[in-house]
Amino acid sequence: MKRLLVIGIGAGDPDHLTLQAVKAIAAADVFFIVDKGEVKQDLVQLRLDLIAEHGREPYRIAEARDPERDRTTPAYAAAVDDWRSRRALACETLIREELGDGQTGAFLVWGDPGVYDSTLAIVEEILRRGNVTFDYEVVPGISSVAALTARHRTSLTQVGRPVHLTTGRRLAERGATADDMVVMLDAHCSFAGFDDFHIHWGAYLGTPDEILVSGPVAEVGDRIRELRAEARARKGWIMDTYLLRRTPPADR
């Protein structure tokens, strides 16, 4: 039987790696890297550095190119489904051709594999198709949400209160759905207009490029927009996450 490990590696700081993740990396014979192209080379490099530091020789690295996703279509869900299926096919080929029986393969997943990541759905799709069989395990990682709240020295939850984890796209479509919202995958600063909220914003969390801003949206929103645009232009990509917390009426 082939064995697969889906290992959460944390949100950018090599020290985010848990001891469980370190042991899992040491147990792998083959690492699968799905390359997102030159722009995200930094993200691939962190994985290669972690493998070089914690992998146990002899191991191999098997790479495939991430299929392009159609970002122009308004049919977002259909475009993601299509991209996910093509990605599943690329991963299936890697597992079938590069992983021998009795061997352990590993995908190093950014942050936590359970937070806005397609790897688990892709692994299930590959198993459903039935062209290759394997056992798999998931190793949790420090998500960008945990990194964000820790760097801002704030709690994700308030006493007995819910938190809504959502995307920039949904925030823009639906408006405020809770007093506490964590927003990811936001390319458009969708916090604009949330003037009765406080924002804890973080970009490139855990990396040397990390940027942190916090304050009332009405006061710091423009600054975040400027910092974001400038950093994105400089590096060619950006990953940012933020917590929006409704300001108590007494503090408004």
Ligand X SMILES: C[S@@+](CC[C@H](N)C(=O)[O-])C[C@H]1O[C@@H](n2cnc3c(N)ncnc32)[C@H](O)[C@@H]1O
Which of 111, 136, 191, 201 touches ligand X (CB under 6 A)? 111
Among 32-40, 56-64, 106-114, 128-136, the segment contacting ligand X (CB under 6 A)? 106-114
Angle between helices 119-129 and 76-98 (to 10 degrees): 60
Residue 248 CB, shortest distance to ligand X, in Å, is 26
* Alpha-carbon separation of residue 237 from 160, 204, 206, 234, 249 (angstroms): 37, 10, 16, 8, 37
Does 119 sit near ligand X (CB under 6 A)? no
Q: Residue 166 interacts with ligand X (CB under 6 A)?
A: no
Backbone angles phi, psi at 237, to 5 degrees: -155, 160
DSSP letter (8 states) at residue 10: B
Instruction: Compare residues 55 and 206 and give the one whose CB is closer to ligand X.
Output: 206
Among 139, 205, 213, 227, binds ligand X (CB under 6 A): 205
Q: Which is nearer to ligand X, 152 or 245 (CB)?
A: 152
Q: Indicate the residue among 144 and 214 with the shorter CB distance to ligand X.
A: 144
Asked if residue 23 lies in contact with residue 35, where contact means CB atoms within 8 angstroms, the answer is: no
Binder among 2, 12, 31, 149 for ligand X (CB under 6 A):
12
106 binds ligand X (CB under 6 A): no
Q: Return the number of the residue (55 or 111) whose C-beta is nearest ligand X.
A: 111
CB atoms within 10 A of CB 188: 11
In 3D space, the residue among 68, 128, 131 whose CA is nearest the CA of residue 95 turns out to be 131
Among the listed ranges 55-63, 113-121, 150-158, 219-227, the one in contact with ligand X (CB under 6 A) is 113-121
Binding status of residue 221 toward ligand X by CB under 6 A: no
> Pairing state of beta strands 240-246 and 211-216?
unpaired
Strands (DSSP E) along 90-160, which ranges?
104-109, 134-139
Q: Does 99 participate in binding ligand X (rule CB under 6 A)?
A: no
Residue 228 to residue 210: CA distance in whole angstroms? 11
- Quote the least distance from Cβ 204 to ligand X, whole Å: 5
Spatial CA neighbour of 204 closest among 9, 7, 13, 8: 13
Options 51-59, 82-90, 189-197, 236-244: segment touching ligand X (CB under 6 A): 236-244
Positions touching ligand X (CB under 6 A) are 11-12, 110-112, 115-117, 143-144, 184-185, 202-206, 239-241
